[in-house]
Amino acid sequence: MTMKNKTALLATLAIATLALLAATMAVRAADETKAATKSTAKPALSVAVVQAQSVPLVQRVVANGNIAAWQEASVGAEANGFRLAEVRVNVGDVVKKGQVLAIFTTEMAQADVAQIKAAVAEAEATLAEAAANAQRARDLQATGALSAQQINQYLTAERTAQARVEAQRAAARVQQIRLQQTQVRAPDAGVISARSATVGAVVPAGQELFRLIRQGRLEWRAEVASTDLVRLKPGMSVRVTPPGGSPVVGRLRMVAPTVDPATRNGLAYVDLAAPGLAKAGMFARGEFDLGTTAAMTLPQSAVLLREGFSYVFTVGGDGKVTQVKVGTGRREGDRIEITSGLPAGARVVAAGGGFLVDGDAVRVVDAPAAPRTTP
């Protein structure tokens, strides 16, 4: 090999070596740049973190049921065969005990009273005559002017006349009661809930003319599951919410002694002292207050609902978030009870979790201070 060829070969090898070295350095520089870029990646979101707090929450039993009258009174006609002359109340009227609700015609009853009074007077006159005859018979009994049979007849006539007077007086009292029954009176204070009385109608005795909600009292008849029924005690506070109305506070009066075998629900009767806009026949939802117990809670903004389950995002020491499935329970204001799944002392993203995915890097910032209200 000539000197010239050797020189060319050495030059070629040198160039190849330099190219390989340059390529190796370029790859190494690219890796270092990529690692540096990865190590300096910006966080996905700036978040505030919170920890679960123990807060006293009210234990409640939720139920549904109908609002009904506490008791209803049926007001009907007591007299038979009278024509209804006047109706003084209508549905929704508030009435007092003994108030006149309707009046029947009284002409026939007054005529019967007058007739029986005349019969009483006649019986009393007959009694006076029989009593005088009996007294004369007693006076002559010692003289023998009258036989024992005649004396006994006079005495018997006196007793018969006395009995007839008593019978006529009793009949007079009956007619007087019939006259009083031409006025239909309220048996108790309350609210008229139904009316079937019509002026001019001739109604038989016992036919209902009005229906009355006694004392205007309503009650909520809640259908409670048998598992919760044993937790209810008479006297506890109940919050009832009728449709379209404000909540009404009531008191549990009693719990039914039986449970429906088909639904496994029992009835709880709740007195509504001030029903407000609630009306009999409404369907309402209510909550029984069972007292307060301590519970671990988070702000509701920290809990996400996805695919029917509740999740929170916890922040680790490396600044990355982890999606954790949790169990939830009671709610009070802006707090929600966490029943399971959350590790003790975990830092939880307070808000904005909907923009995060598992493994995102975040920057933790201080939670904004609550706005101060000026007194």
pLDDT digits (tens, 9 = 90+) for 330-342: 888 888 989 898 9
pTM: 0.61
Task: Tell whether 189 and 99 lie within a shared domain.
Answer: yes
**Residue 202, domain CATH:** 2.40.50.100
Cα 350 to chain centroid distance, Å, stands at 36
198-251 pLDDT, tens per residue?
A: 999 998 988 999 999 999 999 999 999 998 998 899 999 999 998 887 889 999
Does the residue 331 lie in any domain?
yes
Whole-angstrom distance, CA of residue 353 vs CA of residue 302: 7
Q: For position 156, which CATH number holds?
A: 1.10.287
What pLDDT is stored for residue 35 in this prediction? 47
Cα separation of 73 and 185, whole Å? 12
The answer to whether residue 2 is domain-embedded is no
Residue 11 covered by a domain: no
Q: What is the CATH number of the domain that holds 348?
A: 2.40.420.20
Is 272 inside any structural domain? Answer: yes
Q: Residues 139, 170: one domain?
A: yes
CA-closest candidate to residue 101, choices 121, 117, 82, 86? 86
Q: Which of 245, 266, 290 is the last residue of a domain?
A: 290
CA distance linking residue 290 with residue 270, whole number of Å: 15
**239 falls within a domain:** yes
Domain count, the chain: 4
Distances (CA, A) of 264 to 111, 144, 258, 288, 297: 62, 91, 10, 18, 32
Check whether residue 112 and residue 172 sit in a common domain: yes
In a domain, 5, yes or no: no
Coil, helix or strand for 255? strand
| Structural domain boundaries enclosing 274 | 62-70+216-290
pLDDT computed for residue 44 by the predictor: 62
Residue with tokens 């609630």: 278
Closest CA to 67 of 230, 213, 264, 258: 213
Percent helix, strand, coil in the chain, to 5, is 30, 40, 30
Residue 3 resides in a domain:
no
What is the rounded CA–CA span in Å between residue 241 and residue 234? 20
- CB count in 10 Å sphere of residue 160: 13
Same domain, 90 and 201: yes
